[in-house]
Structures are given as structure tokens and as C-alpha cells.
Amino acid sequence: MSVLVLVHRVVYAQQMSIISDGTWRASTILYNNWQDINFDDSNWGFSVSPAPNGITTVVSGSRSMWVNGIPPNAYFRKKIDLTSVMVKKTTLEISADNEYRVYINGKLVAADVALWTTKTYDVEGFLECGENVIAIHGIEWIPSTPSLVSCRWRLDTVHRTRTGIIAAH
């Protein structure tokens, strides 16, 4: 009797970037628990990108985003699935006109005034295997003026895939 066992495993490293653009969910309404991973944002629209105006720095490699109109607050959400990857390192670069608060999976990871500057944060400890959400609250100080948020979320990952075990007799 002979047994043949085949295991196929592929491991490779990759850098992923999630950038601010028109694919983020966006709202001007503050909902309870809007920053949590299980919040249903399906009734939200999408961000406007590039933002129509703004005087602050746009993070390199990203696009500015805001919402239609000129509200004092804008809320953005983006989901990412990390089921098949292991994150080795991740950083978030962000800029806003005028202020921001950043949440990952419902936890506040950064808050600052960032007019004309870009800030970088190490956000590795906030990610989970599976679905993750980054949520940004953009705050404009001057009534009736459009604002913008821009960010780039870099993830150094290791991908693992398996095709399983095949046995024959």
C-alpha cells in the first residue's frame, strides 16, 4: 500500500497601501458607535475625492477626500479583510484641514490638529485577523468652508496560502 500526500504552501511578503480616495464610506451625521467594526454603513454615501478645496498638505501617494457640501464634521469608514495575511508592521500617515480623530476597530488611535502637516502613527497593535475598519472623524473649524482629510495606511504583510492535503492509496 502506498500513500501520496501533497501539501502546497506559499508564503510571500507584500506591502499594501490603503489610501484616502472616493471609495471610503462617508457621512455628515454622527451615529452612535459609527467607528465600531460592526456598524452598518451601507446607507452612507461615498467620499468626494479629490476634495473640492483645502489648504493643508495631502499625504504623498493618496488623494484628498471630504463630503458634499461644507459641513463642520465628516465621518469616513473603510473596511479591510486581513484573513489571509499576517501583519508584520503597519503605519498610518494622515493630514487634515483642520483636525482629525482616527479609530481602528472602534479604538481611538490618533487625534490631532494637523493643518499643513502630516503625522505618522504606528498602529500595529490595533489590527485583528479577519475584518478590520479604519474610521476617521474630520473636523473643520471655520463654518461654511470646505475641508479635507488625506491618509495612507501602509501594511507590511506576509501572505500564507494552502491548497490542502491530498492522499491516494
Alpha carbons 19 and 2: distance in angstroms, whole number = 52
Residue 72: predicted pLDDT: 86
Q: Cell triple for residue 92?
A: 498610518
Residue 163 lies in a domain: no
Residue 159 lies in a domain: no
What average pLDDT does this structure show over 84-105?
Answer: 86
Alpha carbons 47 and 65: distance in angstroms, whole number = 6
CATH number at residue 134: 2.60.120.260
pTM score: 0.83
Looking at per-residue pLDDT, the higher value among 169 and 97 belongs to: 97
Alpha carbons 150 and 8: distance in angstroms, whole number = 40
Residue 157 lies in a domain: no
Question: What is the end-to-end Cα distance of the chain in Å, rounded?
Answer: 6
Residue 138 lies in a domain: yes
Alpha carbons 126 and 121: distance in angstroms, whole number = 12
Domain range for 77: 19-82+95-150
- Whether the pLDDT of residue 134 is over 90: the answer is yes
Residue 22: predicted pLDDT: 92
Residue 4 lies in a domain: no
Residue 158 lies in a domain: no
Q: What is the pLDDT of residues 150-167, one digit of tens each?
A: 888 888 777 666 555 444
Rank 61-70, 109-118, 125-134, 136-145 by mean pLDDT and report only the highest.
125-134
Alpha carbons 80 and 87: distance in angstroms, whole number = 12
Work out how many domains the chain is built from and give that number. Answer: 1
Q: What is the pLDDT of residues 15-70, one digit of tens each?
A: 888 888 999 999 999 999 999 999 999 999 999 888 766 656 688 888 888 887 77
